[in-house]
Amino acid sequence: MGHGNKMEQAWKLIERYLERATQVVTLLQAQSREADLLRAVAARRLPREGRIEQRGEYQFHGVGCAATLDGIDIDFDFGPEGRHDGFDAWRLREFASNWDEFLELQDENTWVEQLDEMARLGWIHSPRWEPSPHLRYLTETGAQELATHRG
């Protein structure tokens, strides 16, 4: 596979990752009737772990959540004000392991290279926002680029 194809695969996986994180958050918000999930867990209004309807399960950890939804595993950390659209090399590599089609992306060094290239091109940035300063986020240009890769 060439560099271009790996970048296509990376965009496809990032899109799936962001969609799945949003699904988990939306379902948990609806189920718990809580907008700020981390605050709800800290205040014990939402159990630290449990089921997501009949579709899977979740477990909050630190400033993040690990979940299995419809057989797909995801782990994401929250950013400021409940944002859940951040990612890093480790989380993307772990998420890639859900599918054989992303075999080439199941290496953390590959993700470090892909994310560094995306940052160099201005598609993602690392604003170092609390409570998860390690996360990267799409820039406006990156969101436009992602839209061109939607299949």
Q: What are the boundaries of each domain within the chain? A: 3-149
User: Please, where are the H alpha helices in the chain?
Assistant: 3-32, 37-42, 89-96, 108-120, 140-149
Backbone angles phi, psi at 76, to 5 degrees: -140, 155
As a whole number, the mean pLDDT across the chain is 93
pLDDT in tens, 60-114: 999 999 999 999 999 999 999 999 999 999 999 999 999 999 988 888 899 999 9
Q: How far apart are CA 55 and CA 139, in angstroms?
A: 32
- Measured in degrees and rounded to the nearest 5, phi and psi for residue 131 equal -90, 10
